[in-house]
Chains A and B, each alone.
Chain A
Amino acid sequence: MIDRAPEVVAAATVALAACAVAVLTGGATRGDAQVRRAEGFHRSVGGLGSGAATSLASCGASFDRSSGAACDRAFDPAPGGTAFCVLHAGPSLRR
Chain B
Amino acid sequence: MGGFIAVARSGVGAVLLHPMRSVATVAAVTAMLVPVVTGLAVSEGLADESRDAARFGADLVVTGLRFGRPAPIPLTAMEALLAIPEVTSVRPRIVGAIQMGVAREDVVVVGLDPPGGPSGLGAAGDVTVVEGRLFAPGAANEAVVGSRLAARLGLSPGARIPPFYTDREGERWTDVVGVFRSDLPMWEANVVLTSFETAQRFFDERGHATQLLVTCDAGYAEAIREAILRMPTLAPSLSGDPLRPRVFARADVEATLARGAAFGAGAFALHFVLLFAAAVPLLVVATGAGLRERLRETGVLKMLGWGTDDVLLRAFVESLTLAVIAASLSVILSALWLGPLGARGIAAVLLPGADADPGFGVPWRLTPGPVAIAAALSLAIVLVGTLPSSWRAASAEPMEAMR
Contact = CB atoms under 8 A, between A and B. Distances in A.
Nearest to B339: A27
B52 A54 contact: no
Interface of B: 9-10, 12-13, 15-16, 41, 46, 48-50, 52-58, 61, 63, 65, 68-70, 91, 93, 95-97, 106-108, 110, 112, 114, 121-125, 127-130, 134, 144, 148, 180-181, 183-191, 193, 210-211, 213, 246, 248, 252-253, 256, 259-260, 263-270, 273, 321, 324-325, 327-329, 331-332, 335, 339, 350-354, 360, 364-368, 371
Contact of B128 (A40, A57, A60, A75): A40
Given A50-B54, A66-B61, A67-B70, A44 B122 contact: yes
Q: List 7 A-B pairs, minimum CB-CB distance, nearest first.
A: A47-B57, A90-B266, A49-B187, A27-B366, A42-B56, A6-B13, A20-B328
Given A23-B366, A57-B353, A39 B124 contact: yes
Contact of A47 (B54, B108, B183, B339): B54
A63 B180 CA distance: 18
Nearest to B61: A66
Interface of A: 3, 5-7, 9-10, 13, 16-17, 19-20, 23-24, 26-28, 30, 33-58, 60, 63-69, 75, 86-95
A56 B321 contact: no
A90 B267 contact: yes
A53 B252 CA distance: 18
Given A40-B124, A86-B352, A92 B366 contact: no
Contacts of A17: 324, 328
B13 A9 contact: yes
Nearest to A58: B353
Nearest to A49: B187
Q: Which of A43, A50, A56 has the most CB of B within 10 A?
A: A50
B191 to A, nearest CB: 7
17 contacts: A6-B9, A9-B13, A10-B12, A16-B325, A27-B339, A40-B129, A41-B188, A44-B121, A48-B187, A52-B351, A53-B353, A54-B187, A54-B360, A58-B353, A64-B95, A69-B68, A87-B352
B190 A54 contact: yes
Contacts of B360: 54
Nearest to B149: A55
A50 B325 CA distance: 35
A40 B122 contact: yes
A50 B253 contact: yes
A71 to B, nearest CB: 11
Contacts of A64: 53, 95, 187
Contacts of B110: 45-46, 48
Given A23-B335, A51-B263, 18 more contacts: A5-B13, A9-B16, A13-B12, A27-B366, A34-B183, A36-B124, A38-B184, A39-B124, A43-B124, A44-B112, A44-B134, A47-B61, A50-B256, A56-B108, A64-B95, A65-B252, A87-B264, A93-B266
Given A16-B328, A17-B324, A46 B48 contact: no
A56 B97 contact: yes
Contacts of A88: 266
A68 B68 CA distance: 10
Given A39-B52, A48-B187, A55 B108 contact: yes
A92 B16 CA distance: 41
Contacts of B121: 43-44
A47 B50 CA distance: 9
A2 to B, nearest CB: 11
Contacts of A5: 13, 16
A68 B13 CA distance: 58
Contacts of A51: 46, 50, 263
A39 B121 CA distance: 11
B110 to A, nearest CB: 5
A52 B328 contact: no
A41 B185 contact: yes
Contacts of A39: 52, 56, 124, 127
A49 B184 CA distance: 12
A47 B187 contact: no
Contact of B52 (A26, A35, A93, A94): A35
A58 B366 CA distance: 27
Q: Which of A10, A33, A38 has the most CB of B within 10 A?
A: A38
B364 A27 contact: yes
Nearest to B67: A75
